[in-house]
Chains A and B, each alone.
Chain A
Amino acid sequence: MTPELFITRHNHLIDPFLHVWSWQIPVYLFLGGWVAGNMILTGYFMLGGRHTRRSPLLSALPGLSLVLLSLGMLALFLDLEHKRYVWRLYTTFQWASPMSWGSWILLLVYPVLLLTWMVRPPVILEDLSQGVERITTTLQGRRDIVRTIGITSMVLGVALGVYTGVLLSSLVARPLWNSGILGVLFVASGVSAAAAFGHLVTHSPDERALTVRIDNVVLASELGILGLFVLGLLAGSAQQVEAARLLLGGPFTALFWVFVVGLGIVIPLIIQLLAVRHWIQHTPIAPIMVMAGGLALRWVLVLAGQVSRWEPGTLRIH
């Protein structure tokens, strides 16, 4: 057996092509991460007892997540080579395959999102259906059930977010992705996108204040995680160092540092920190930048990762 079969997988029988992913994958990873963040946020809100009063975000995020996740899965479906056989993913569970994990996690997410939505649905939904009103009344009367739904939502949100990172990091043939921290990075980015969206759309001052504070903490953490990600690559094998150079002087440097780090994290973080201290007014620009930065992060990593490879001397830095 050669190392390429059991270490790098860069073999024509295992991973024959390295550059196969286009816009569908970063879009799916972003939407999946955003939904993961929404689930963590709504779970946190429910554990904090926000379901007992009017909460615009608790009423909106689960329903929106159903749409976002469906759009993400549509993008993923469009990327599939053999679209007719997608159902076969659900005839088995392969514990060593991140795709198998992902397929089942995605399937579990839908009912949990629906249940979360029923805890505090939008008024219009309650008015439309007496059934919804009955379910909501029952759920709200059972604190233990609401608590269980909240915890399940958070756990499944973390699993979904981590999975979007593991999906990339398990592809050993791409040294840029081959980092365990990618899962944590994508969870952080997902929570940040969710908090930014909450900050952007909620009309409740209380929720706006809370989401902007959450976003600031997560954005600062994301900076640290990104730093660890780059340091981890620089401390790795020669190929991982080469992969890191794609972002440190190589062809993806400007995209990564300007759109992901600068416009996606640092500048909105500064604006939001000033807003929290009441030095400037809250602006919709900052959360929009955060969300665009989340998409840019996936886009740059998916593109750059496909350029990085294991064979010595094949990685050309321009």
Chain B
Amino acid sequence: MMAPFLKYGMFGDETSLVLAFLIGIGFGFFLERAGFGSARKLVSQFYLNDLAVFKVMFTAIVTAMLGVTYLGWIGWLDLSLVYLVPTYLVPQIAGGLILGAGFVIGGYCPGTSVAATATGRVDGLIYLVGIFAGMFAFAEMFPLLKGFYLSGAGEAMTIPGAFGLPYGVVVFAVVLMAVGGFYGAGLLEKKFATPVE
């Protein structure tokens, strides 16, 4: 048995959609349970008094990264078949800035706005309507934006590939970064904690 299962033909596209549904339920459930259906909780990370989002997301990144690394080393996962998003450096930096600005202003990212809507929060629903309006506007303006959207190499760029570092070293560095980040986040939370009256 070898992963990725879909690439090795263990199931077809239809079954993969059913699995995506189940994984989506799990993702949404834990997102909401972690408190990420609340805009107040989410924007607290920008005021540095509650960095739960940073900690949870970095934990998820490190867990997934270590899982993928170990499975690859054991030989259960063919890393060359794992899909990587093509890199368009400048447009993706612009996209990241726009998403970040939207996150600070609106209080949600796309995934958490869905979690918020599912729990009946009106602000999450309005945010979601905004997302769809933005996607519609982008699609309509795509002929104008296409040149910028596709500018850059368009190849999947990885940190080990770009810097010529061994894969294991990058993994270790990210783990160290996470440990340091968690320690630093704890200090920041203490410093910027809202005083209890």
A binding-site residues for B, Cβ under 8 Å: 249-254, 257-258, 262, 267, 318
B14 at the interface (CB under 8 A from A): yes
**8 interchain pairs, CB-CB under 8 A:** A253-B12, A253-B14, A253-B17, A254-B17, A254-B21, A258-B17, A258-B21, A262-B18
Residues of A within 8 Å of B17, CB to CB, are 253-254, 258
Chain A nearest CB from B10 CB (Å) reads 11
**Cα distance A286–B18 when bound, in Å?**
20
Contacts of A257 in B (CB 8 A): 18, 21
| Contact between B21 and A262, CB atoms less than 8 A apart | yes
Smallest CB gap from A253: residue in B: B14
Q: Is the CB of B21 within 8 A of A249?
A: no
Least CB distance, B30 to chain A, in whole angstroms:
16
Q: How far is the CA of A249 from the CA of B17 in the complex (A)?
A: 10
Mask for B151-183, Cβ within 8 A of A = 1, else 0?
A: 000000000000000000000000000000000
Residue of A nearest to B17 (CB): A254
- B10-41 interface code vs A (CB 8 A; 1 in, 0 out): 01101101100110010000000000000000
> Shortest beta-carbon distance, B15 to chain A, in Å?
5
Cα-based distance from A258 to B18 in the complex (angstroms):
6
Partner of B15, one of A249, A262, A318: A249
A249 / chain B contacts, CB cutoff of 8 Å: 11-12, 14-15
Do the beta carbons of B15 and A253 come within 8 Å of each other? yes
Q: What are the residues of chain B within 8 A of A267 when measuring CB–CB?
A: 25
Name the distance in Å between A275's Cβ and chain B's nearest Cβ. 14
Q: How far is the CA of A312 from the CA of B67 in the complex (A)?
A: 45
Q: How far is the CB of A217 from chain B (nearest CB, A)?
A: 24
Rounded to whole angstroms, the CA-CA distance of A288 and B12 in the bound complex is 31
Min CB gap B20→A, angstroms: 9
B25: chain A residues within 8 A (beta carbon): 262, 267
